[in-house]
Amino acid sequence: MTHDSSINTDGELNNSSNESEQNWRRYFSFSTDHKVIGVQYMAMTFMFFLIGGLLAMIIRAELLTPEANVVDRPLYNGLFTMHGTIMIFLWIIPFNAGLANYLVPLMIGARDMAFPLLNAIAFWILPPAGLLLLSSFLLPNGTAQSGWWSYPPISLQVPPGYINGEFIWIVSLILIGISSIMGAINFLTTIFWMRAPGMTFFRMPVFVWSVMSAQLLQLINLPALTGALILLLFDLSLGTQFFKPLENGDPVIYQHLFWFYSHPAVYIMALPAFGIFAEVLPAFARNPLFGYRSVALATLGIALVSIFVWVHHMFTSATPNWMRMTFMVTSMLVAVPTGVKAFAWTATIWRSKLHLETPMLFAMGGATMFIFGGITGVMLAATPFDIHVNNTYFVVGHFHYVVFNTITMAIFAAIYFWFPKITGRMYSEGWGKLHFWLTFIPANITFFSMHPLGLQGMLRRISSYDPQYQGWNIIASLGAFLLGASTLPFIANIVGSWLYGPRAVNNPWHATGLEWITSSPPPRDNFEEIPIVKRPPYDYGDPKYSVLENSNNRD
């Protein structure tokens, strides 16, 4: 928005940003500062995003032609397994943890997280776990090859040898799960007990509501997955028979345990994205968030309903009729609180004064594409239709509209929006917009194409396909390569601006929220003095945030 930020007369501000520059090494050290940990999370997960994206490009290269001619079939199976696993467990979920780490204490007016040491430990579990997972590419028989959900008995069919890709996969997922549970305890404690005076629940930004709801899900549902993985590990290495159908185990129980976590995981990923929309849209529309209370409550509502919908992933898995019908209804009910959010975003934009800067472009693009992904989601909840498209590219198209076109777009919105706060520098608007268009258009090309493929019956996880499917596959692949290229202007912008960008003021967007009243970047303890909150959030009708002269407001 305003890049007239070089006028910087504030001595204190200069001090703190110089200090931070001298201390860039702290990002590579064991720090207990939630801001450092947040940046560590975000930088590390972005590396995994690049790796996961690279694997996706190879998958799409294979799918350019009907025959299997780029990679052999075991490797193809390893590629989609690792792509899915990395994108979910090492990109979106931990990125959200990093962003929340950075923002939550600032947004609620706290000096740090409740348990700073636990926070650092939770983070430092991840790099070894991620490297362990990647190391399985070097094993003689390669990585796990049974998909990111690792259904038994296929996941138990591994070539002989004690250490195999599946073993490594399970161990690293258990480690990542432990890290997430530590994080959840920390976030919930922080949000419940560390709020600044006057920061009531209904004065909390929606982003904080969404972190709270998502972390509640981590705490309630993650143990189911961890338990399932431990049993799977026993089946794999110790000869137990929990999930082996030919030895009276039950593989469907695994599916229940798995989806009991992994459906809510969708919201663990998506709710923070919705929270980002709720911060960015009002700031660039200059309107209060329409229906703040209902949006906040809808956040919690989505989380609670989503605990009771997991069977919609198992409509074809020998699921009895009563279960199919019950879970059809509960799944569809999620559309109500979700709809409330989408309507509230739209109403916030309505009759506004729109500023289409890069964060706003990503937020509006992401919110719009979420409407599409949400609609196909309701379709999938309709059991008879799901029975046709389940495990086809329709599903792959649907969830990429959510995980990429919505959540990853929201993440980009967040990076641009809080970049000045985090680094004390402005990014380049031109490069940002280029990045947006290079992402938005190819993302639609890539993932829209998957819907007609799925309707026509192209199954997911196949390494070769019938020639009739080639047309849309070529389009999807070309879109995907462009999408891969779109990360280059982003990286150039972020790295270049962090080093050489113009200095940012405290509140370049004239936004509300406590994080904007402290310096950019914030001092070690976040605030010179803990603020006392007297206003509702999203106070965009207030002249304080309406006038340009206040861009550097520090009251």
Residues 67-106 binding ligand HEM (CB under 6 A) are: 80-81, 83-84, 87-88, 92
- Please count the residues of the chain: 555
Name the closest residue to Cu ion (Cβ).
263
The amino acid that residue 374 corresponds to is G
**Closest separation between CB of residue 500 and another protein, Å?**
25
Q: Which stretch binds Cu ion (CB under 5 A): 103-111, 257-265, 348-356, 405-413?
A: 257-265
Count of residues of this chain found to bind ligand HEM when the rule CB under 6 A is applied: 23
Q: Please identify, using beta-carbon distances, which residue of 16 and 136 lies nearer to ligand HEM.
A: 136
Tell me if 146 sits within 8 A of 189, measured CB to CB: no
Residue with tokens 């591994």: 158
Q: Is 362 helix (H, G, I), strand (E, B) or coil?
A: helix
Cα angle: 305, vertex 310, 313; to 5 degrees = 135
Q: Please identify, using beta-carbon distances, which residue of 188 and 253 lies nearer to another protein.
A: 253
Residue of 117, 38, 121, 132 whose CA lies nearest to 85: 132
Sign of CA dihedral 275, 280, 285, 288: positive
Contact partner, 263, from ligand HEM, another protein, Cu ion, none, Cβ < 5-8 Å per class: Cu ion
**Closest separation between CB of residue 191 and another protein, Å?**
23
> How many C-beta atoms surround the C-beta of residue 110 within 10 A?
23
Tell me if 123 sits within 8 A of 130, measured CB to CB: no
**Closest separation between CB of residue 393 and ligand HEM, Å?**
8
Residues from 213 through 242 that contact ligand HEM (CB under 6 A): none
Pairwise CA distance, residues 251 & 318, whole Å: 11
**Closest separation between CB of residue 131 and another protein, Å?**
20
The amino acid that residue 24 corresponds to is W
Q: Please identify, using beta-carbon distances, which residue of 34 and 263 lies nearer to Cu ion.
A: 263
Contact partner, 341, from another protein, ligand HEM, Cu ion, none, Cβ < 5-8 Å per class: none
Per-residue binding string, ligand HEM, 451-490, x by CB under 6 A, is ---------xx------------------x--x-------
263 is a site residue for Cu ion (CB under 5 A): yes
The amino acid that residue 155 corresponds to is S
**Closest separation between CB of residue 157 and another protein, Å?**
4
**Closest separation between CB of residue 314 and another protein, Å?**
8
Per-residue binding string, ligand HEM, 163-192, x by CB under 6 A, is ------------------------------
**Closest separation between CB of residue 32 and another protein, Å?**
37
Alpha helices in 382-408 (DSSP H): 383-389, 393-402
400 is a site residue for ligand HEM (CB under 6 A): yes
Pairwise CA distance, residues 302 & 300, whole Å: 6
Residue with tokens 């959510």: 402
Q: Please identify, using beta-carbon distances, which residue of 458 and 533 lies nearer to ligand HEM.
A: 458
CA dist 309 → 33, 303, 304, 496 (Å): 37, 11, 10, 45
Name the closest residue to ligand HEM (Cβ).
84
Q: Please identify, using beta-carbon distances, which residue of 362 and 527 lies nearer to ligand HEM.
A: 362
Q: Which stretch binds ligand HEM (CB under 6 A): 30-38, 330-338, 403-411, 545-553?
A: 403-411
Let me know if 532 is exposed, middle or buried by CB neighbors in 10 A (0-12, 13-18, 19+).
exposed
The tokens of 347 are what?
Answer: 């109403």
Q: Please identify, using beta-carbon distances, which residue of 26 and 286 lies nearer to another protein.
A: 286
Q: Please identify, using beta-carbon distances, which residue of 17 and 383 lies nearer to another protein.
A: 383
Among 401, 404, 418, 427, binds ligand HEM (CB under 6 A): 404
What 46-50 contacts at long range (C-beta under 8 Å, 24+ apart), as own/partner pairs, is: 46/91, 46/95, 48/86, 48/90, 48/91, 48/130, 49/87, 49/91, 49/95, 49/408, 50/487
**Closest separation between CB of residue 100 and ligand HEM, Å?**
17
Cis peptide before 521 (omega within 30 of 0): yes
**Closest separation between CB of residue 313 and Cu ion, Å?**
5
Pairwise CA distance, residues 517 & 524, whole Å: 15
Q: Please identify, using beta-carbon distances, which residue of 210 and 392 lies nearer to another protein.
A: 392
**Closest separation between CB of residue 148 and Cu ion, Å?**
14
**Closest separation between CB of residue 319 and another protein, Å?**
8
Among 66, 116, 127, 147, binds ligand HEM (CB under 6 A): 147
Q: Please identify, using beta-carbon distances, which residue of 85 and 519 lies nearer to ligand HEM.
A: 85
Contact partner, 59, from another protein, ligand HEM, Cu ion, none, Cβ < 5-8 Å per class: ligand HEM
Contact partner, 206, from ligand HEM, another protein, Cu ion, none, Cβ < 5-8 Å per class: none
Among 42, 56, 108, 314, binds ligand HEM (CB under 6 A): 56
Pairwise CA distance, residues 228 & 249, whole Å: 13
Tell me if 430 sits within 8 A of 478, measured CB to CB: no
Pairwise CA distance, residues 112 & 527, whole Å: 10
Cα angle: 218, vertex 220, 225; to 5 degrees = 70
Contact partner, 92, from another protein, ligand HEM, Cu ion, none, Cβ < 5-8 Å per class: ligand HEM
